[in-house]
């Protein structure tokens, strides 16, 4: 079945350093979404990417969707303590349904 691998599993950075998490799907995706979950909270939608090679920016966050629509990345520039949490990607099936496979998440810890 379809799998979405996400790396790294954990990342500790000093405040001000950059951070990147990667998602790789075993199959082509129709779209990919990124979510952030704070400790004890629920996932919160960040962005969706639909087009091959798409790049979107939200302030210090940059999201990319691969040309083959099988991989994606989230890059945070100059991390802040407010960036702490777990970041998940969610890949949408190309079958026309709303079946989603989530990556296992990257837990980010920012040291002040």
Please identify which residue in 24, 28, 73, 104 interacts with another protein, judged by CB under 8 A: 104
Which two structure tokens, joined as six digits, stand for 57? 């920016």
With contact defined as beta carbons under 8 Å apart, do 54 and 39 qualify?
no
Q: How many residues in total does the chain contain?
A: 112
Distance CA 53, CA 19 (A): 20
Judged by beta carbon, residue 22 or residue 35, the one nearer another protein is 35
User: Using CB under 8 A, which residues numbered 73 to 102 contact another protein?
Assistant: 88, 90, 92, 97-102
Least distance (Å) from another protein to the CB of residue 42?
4
Which two structure tokens, joined as six digits, stand for 86? 């777990």
Please identify which residue in 24, 48, 62, 77 interacts with another protein, judged by CB under 8 A: 48
The CA-atom distances, in angstroms, between 65 and each of 39, 52, 92, 109 are 27, 6, 13, 24
User: Using CB under 8 A, which residues numbered 2 to 41 contact another protein?
Assistant: 6, 31, 33, 35
Which two structure tokens, joined as six digits, stand for 29? 């995706």
**Any contact of residue 64 with another protein (CB under 8 A)?**
no
Q: Please report, as ranges, the residues that interact with another protein according to CB under 8 A.
A: 1, 6, 31, 33, 35, 42-45, 48, 50, 88, 90, 92, 97-105
């Amino acid at each position: 079945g379809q799998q979405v691998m996400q790396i790294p599993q954990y990342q500790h950075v000093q405040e001000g350093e950059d951070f990147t998490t990667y998602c790789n799907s075993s199959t082509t995706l129709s779209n990919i979404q990124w979510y952030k979950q704070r400790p004890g909270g629920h996932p919160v939608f960040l962005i969706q990417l639909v087009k091959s090679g798409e790049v979107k920016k939200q302030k210090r966050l940059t999201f990319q969707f691969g040309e083959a629509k099988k991989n994606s990345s989230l890059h945070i520039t100059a991390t802040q303590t407010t960036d702490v949490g777990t970041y998940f990607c969610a890949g949408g099936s190309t079958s026309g349904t709303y079946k989603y496979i989530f990556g296992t998440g990257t837990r980010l810890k920012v040291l002040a």
